[in-house]
Every structure is written in C-alpha cells, then in structure tokens.
Structure 1
C-alpha cells in the first residue's frame, strides 16, 4: 500500500468518524430541544392551573379590593404573552403570598398549595432542560457546523418561586446583595465567569458584587465588593443608584437562597466613546477562597455581545436594559428587573 493511499484511507476514516459524531450530536441536540419544549409545556400548564385556582380563591373566599386585585392578577397571568409572562407571574406570586390561608376552605387551601408546588417542580425541570441545551449549543463544534439549525434558543423562566406549602423544600436563605455595573469608556461592562461546584458543567457570567454584611449599607457594600474583586477604590460620588433591583431564587453548592440584589452603576476609564481606550486593569488578588475556587475568569462585554451571546448571563435582561440605561442615563428610579 502506497503512502498516498494510506493517507487517503486515514482521511476517509476521519471523515466517517467525524460525520457519525456530527449526526449523533445533532440528534442529541434535537432531543434536548424536544425536552425543553416539553418542559415549557408542563410549566405553562402548571402556571395556568395556578391562575385558575387563584381566580377561584378570589371569587369564593376573598372580597373587596384584595379579591379584586387577586382576580385581576390571575387574569393577567392567564393572558400574558411570553415576553410579559414572568412579570405577570411574579405579581401573582406576591398577591398569593399575601393571602391569609387560614380563612380559606380546607379543600381550596390544599388545592392552592398543590398548584404552587407543581409550579416549583415544573419551573426547575424546565430550567434544567434549558441549561443542558445551552451547554451543548455553546460547544465550538456545534456552533461551527450550525448543528442547532433554525431552532430558536431556549429561554430560562426566571421567577421567584412561590412558597409551595408544607410538602415542599424549606425556603431559601435570605441573601441581600449589592452589585456593580462597572462600565468602561467603550460602554463595555465587566463580567466574571463562574461555576457551581455542585452542578457539573455549569458556567455563567455575572457582575461584580456580593453579599451585604450585617449592619452594612448596600451602597457601602457595593464599593467594598468592587475594591475586593477588581482592586478599584472609587469614591461614593462615582456610584449611581441603586438603578435596578432583582429578586431571584437560586441554588449554589446544594443550598437554596432567596436573593435580593441591588445594582449600582459606575463608569471608569474616562469619557464615554473617547479615543485611545485600553482595557482597565482588573486586580483579583482580593478574592476570597470561595471566589478563587469558583470564578474562572473575567472580561469586558460590549452591548452587542450581550444581546447575541448564547452563554448564560445574569441578570438575564442585562443585554436589553444596560444600553438603555447608558444612553438615557439614570432617572433616579429603581427599576425591577429579572
């Protein structure tokens, strides 16, 4: 067998093996998209049932303005489009949380607790499917060969989970956090990349910041966290806000948390759009042991990158809302985001 023939044979084997891998990966990705669609269908059904039960509670057991607000919230959640669904469902969660359940008929109270419990389970199943789909879609070969085809990117459903009653897990530990939108002269925001040691393959980007210590003001906590994580020591006057507030339930290292995050804005590196901009040096020598073990890197993200990335970024509305904040400036109001 000549050398050229051997080379051709090796190439043919590589092509066949590569083709089989691509087919297998495409099939797996297709199954993940089917799983994600099924997860959303189950979550949609659970949310719809909760809204029906909420209407029953409002009509049968609650009167006056409180009943009218609950009925309106339930109807809004039932008819909201996908883009407005999270806000509507969060509003309904808050309304149900204020309902005095001891005054409800036992059968109706049990049905409400069951409906809320099913929402918790369905949301977690759906978001797990989205996470696994994103993890495969982010692989370089999958993106290069466009194995996802025309399938739309799945979306996390980010709502504060309702208290699902006595049969569910215990509520998450409350955690107040202060976070900083650190933006350079090219309107790029600094994000850190991290992972959860308890969730294999997890990878997500997030803003600088962390927990508020007992007795500490969120604004002071934001400046302290900024210095510890980036080496930058800014005066209080350079910090705007809080501009955003985010309520979210999340898990890390097997523990659940009920997060209350306050976001501040800080510009560094000179005037916006100025010529000759260079990357601002970031000093991470102040990281804690936990941060050293779970943060894998950092970089500056441009607004266009945030809007088009397939990677997981928190908060999920960052790419949509940050350009608006930078263009229009802060109006002095704290905006609720997800």
Structure 2
C-alpha cells in the first residue's frame, strides 16, 4: 500500500472512530444507568418486603398465629434464589388471614405494607425489563458493553386482589411436557401476562389438569392441543420434576403445582398451534427450539427457572425420582 493509501485508510478509520465512539460510549453509559436503576429498585423492593415482614410479625402476635411470624422470618432471611418461594409462602398465608379480627389501624398498616410491595415490585420489574431489552441488543452483546454486571432478574410473586383485600388463591394442578427434538433441543413458547404485556417469558408446553384426569393423560392432551404432536402416554418419561409456584395471571392469583414429563418429538414433527384457545392466541407470541447452552445463556425469563440446570441430568437417564425445581 502506498503512503497516500495508508493515510487515506487511517483517516477513514479515524473518522469511523470519531463517529461510532460517542455512540458506543452513550450506549454504555445508558446501560450503566439502567443497572444502577435496577439495583436501586431492588433495594426499594427489599425494604418494602422487610416492612411487610415486620408488620406480619405484629399481626402474628395479635392473632396468635405463630406460623405467620415464622413465614415472615423465613422470607426475610431467605437467600436471593429462594426469596420468591419464601415470599410467596408468606403471601399465601396472608391471603387466608381473617382481617376482621385485626384492629383497624393494624389492618390498614398491613394493607399499606402489601400495596407498597406491589408498587415496588412493579418498579423493579420495569427496571429489569428495560435493562434486559438493552442488554439483548446485538451491538451490546457483540461489544460486551454489559461488562461483568450480573444479569438482572424479574421478581415473581403473586399480588393481592385489586382492592387490596384477601381474595384467595386459585388452586391449579398442571401437567407439562419438556418436548425434545432429535438434537435434545427443548420446545419453548414465549408469552406474557395480559396485565403486563411488556414482561415476556418463555415456558414449556402444558396446562391445567381437568377434574378426574390423570397427570400423564393431561400431559398428552395438552401437548397435542398446543403443538399438534401426538405421543402415546407410555412414551412420556416422568414426572421428572415438580414445581410449586404462586403467581398472578390476568388479574387472578394462583397456587400452582406443576408436574413435568420428558417427551421426544417424532422425526419430522411440525409444531401446529392452530388448536390454541382464545387466551393462548392472545398471549403467546412465538415458539422456538432451545439447546441447553442457549437456555443457560439466555437473559430473558424462562420457566422453570432451573430448566437449563436440571435438563442435562434428566437427559442422562431418569432414576424414577421426581425432583423439586424452581
């Protein structure tokens, strides 16, 4: 290359740096601010949960309900990975509490503490949503602008009824299928809660067990209805996992027990979603097959949360034990 050509190339490179550099710096700064916002939102949510625990302990003494105080202690002392389950157990106990026996001032304080948790959780999850949206941008991933900052996670706990009073949890038993293709990839659907359309999450096929229906039969039925895949009940492995969850969906709060089976899609199977019901058509955006590595590296919310962690063991052979999973 001639000296003039080299000079031209250098000037072009310098121009690109001057043009792109500020844009990269701006995006990195924005991402940093979002991480700070997420951390602050978690601190506020943690404080709101702690206040709810304090008020709950006072309620436990007044009502003579030691299990309430114990649940509040367990929630407040839980490690972050176990915090959702502990807080949901406390929420379930509070849902069943007869508040008419409380002094008006204490009942009002409990309701206020619960609503502050609701607001703080929504602010936190909004911050997480915005941070994850930017982290998923190709430019951010390619340039590794997130650095060593941990991936933020949604905090999923059920919310009380719209009027802030105990409304009871809808009991739900579900049969779910971890459907695998020939390459051990898992079929997942992406959907959302109609009340929170911006909070997307991925989940396996499956649904509620009908009265009198066996778990395995429900899994076969749900698999066919949601994917068009027909598998004999005897070909399902499991249930390999069991998941307890308390969550809100479309304005209702559920106490769910989910049983997971493994199934292998026949060769050449095509996913057919034409049998979706009205809610599924309204709330499910798309589907795709995920490898274990892709699931482990995914920053979006995936249910069950421990799917990538637990799946390799299940693929190596089931020993007949149904294990708990988050």
TM-score in terms of structure 2 length: 0.81
**Is residue 117–residue 164 contact of structure 1 (8 Å, CA) maintained in 2?**
no
- Counterpart CA distance in 2 for 1:150 and 1:96 is 39
- Counterpart CA distance in 2 for 1:172 and 1:27 is 43
- Counterpart CA distance in 1 for 2:94 and 2:297 is 36
Displacement of 1:171? 8.4
Displacement of 1:145? 0.6
Displacement of 1:206? 1.8
Q: Which moved more, 1:209-218 or 1:109-118?
A: 209-218
Which whole-Å deviations, capped at 9, do the CAs of 1:221-253 have from their partners, x for residues lacking one? 3212212333321112223227323434345xx
C-alpha change, 1:8 and 1:196, in structure 2 (3 Å) is farther
- Counterpart CA distance in 1 for 2:178 and 2:189 is 12
Given candidates 237, 243, 246, the residue that maps to 1:245 is: 243
Answering whether residue 257 of structure 2 is matched by residue 267 of structure 1, we say no
C-alpha change, 1:150 and 1:329, in structure 2 (3 Å) is same
- Counterpart CA distance in 2 for 1:49 and 1:329 is 43
C-alpha change, 1:121 and 1:331, in structure 2 (3 Å) is farther
**Structural mapping, 1:1-338, within 5 Å:** 11-59=13-61, 61-63=62-64, 67-161=65-159, 163=160, 166-167=163-164, 177-184=174-181, 187-194=184-191, 203-210=200-207, 219-239=216-236, 240-241=238-239, 243-251=241-249, 255-259=250-254, 260=256, 262-268=258-264, 281-284=269-272, 286-288=274-276, 294-302=284-292, 304-327=293-316, 329=318, 331=320, 333=322, 335=324, 337-338=325-326
C-alpha change, 1:90 and 1:204, in structure 2 (3 Å) is closer
- Counterpart CA distance in 1 for 2:277 and 2:322 is 36
- Counterpart CA distance in 1 for 2:176 and 2:189 is 12
Displacement of 1:68? 2.2
C-alpha change, 1:165 and 1:225, in structure 2 (3 Å) is closer
Aligned residue pairs total 319
C-alpha change, 1:250 and 1:18, in structure 2 (3 Å) is farther
Q: Which moved more, 1:87-96 or 1:129-138?
A: 87-96
Which whole-Å deviations, capped at 9, do the CAs of 1:112-146 have from their partners, x for residues lacking one? 11111111111121112111111111111101111
Secondary structure of residue in 2 paired with 1:157:
coil
**Is residue 160–residue 248 contact of structure 1 (8 Å, CA) maintained in 2?**
yes
- Counterpart CA distance in 2 for 1:25 and 1:143 is 12
- Structure 1, unmatched stretches of 5+, are 271-278
Displacement of 1:210? 3.9
C-alpha change, 1:30 and 1:320, in structure 2 (3 Å) is same
TM-score in terms of structure 1 length: 0.79
C-alpha change, 1:28 and 1:235, in structure 2 (3 Å) is same
C-alpha change, 1:283 and 1:185, in structure 2 (3 Å) is closer
- Counterpart CA distance in 1 for 2:281 and 2:12 is 44
- Structure 2, unmatched stretches of 5+, are none
- Counterpart CA distance in 2 for 1:95 and 1:170 is 12
